[in-house]
Structure 1
C-alpha cells in the first residue's frame, strides 16, 4: 500500500510538470534559463534530479525495507518531498489541484508509516485476504 501511494505522489508530480509544458510561455521561460524567477543553473538541475529521486527511490524501498528502517526514512522523505512542493505556490487552478493531490498522497504515506487508519486497513485486509 505504501508503494502505491508513493507512485500516486510521483505520478501527480510528473503529470503536473507535463501539464505545465502546455501553458503559454512556459517553454519560452525555461529556454531563457529562468524558472519561477530563478536562473536555471547546472547546480539547480542537479538539485532537482536529486529531489525527484526521493519519491522514485521510495517505491522499491517501501517494499524491501523492514518497518523499523522504513518508518523514519518515510517520514524524512515525505518531509523532503513536501517541502519542495510548497515553494512553487499555485499560480492557477490546476497547480492548486495537483498540489492538493500531492499533499493528500503525502498525508496518506505518513498515516501508513505511523500505523494510522490507512495502515491498519492495509494490515487487516492482508490478514483476512480481502
Structure 2
C-alpha cells in the first residue's frame, strides 16, 4: 500500500512540508473564532518576538531543502537539531492552547518522531553516485 521506493531524503523533505502546512493551518483556523482578529489587533508584539517566530517558521522551510542535499551524517544531525528546536516552539505555544492547539501539537509530534526515525535509519556511508 505504501510506496517503498521513496528515498529517505525525499520522505524527510516531504515530512517537513507537512509540518509547515500544519503550522499554516494551525494559524489560519483561528481566524473564524469570535474575537480572534480583535485580540490580534490589540496585541503589542515586540520585534524580538517577531524575530523568534520568524526563526521558528524558517526551520521547516530550511529543512525541506537540507533534507535533500545534505550527506547522510549531516542529515541525521540537522534533522535532529531541527526537530528539537521546532518541538520547543510547539511546546512553547501549548500552555495557552485550547484543544485544537493540542491536536495540532500531537500531529506535529508524530511527524517529528517519524523524521527522527527516518533520519537515524540513514546509512552511515553515502551511496556512490552513478
**Map of 2:68 onto structure 1:** 63
**Map of 2:28 onto structure 1:** 18
1:60, CA displacement in angstroms?
Answer: 1.0
4+ residue segments displaced more than 2 Å:
90-93
**Map of 1:49 onto structure 2:** 54
1:88, CA displacement in angstroms?
Answer: 1.4
TM-score scaled by length of structure 1: 0.79
1:91, CA displacement in angstroms?
Answer: 3.2
Provide the secondary structure at the position in 2 that maps to 1:21.
coil
**Map of 1:110 onto structure 2:** 116
Using the alignment, how far apart are the partners of 1:41 and 1:105 within structure 2? 30
1:59, CA displacement in angstroms?
Answer: 0.2
Superposition RMSD in Å? 1.6
**Map of 1:98 onto structure 2:** 104
TM-score scaled by length of structure 2: 0.79
Q: Answer yes or no: is 1:27 the counterpart of 2:37.
A: yes
Unaligned 5+ residue runs, structure 1?
Answer: 34-38, 121-130
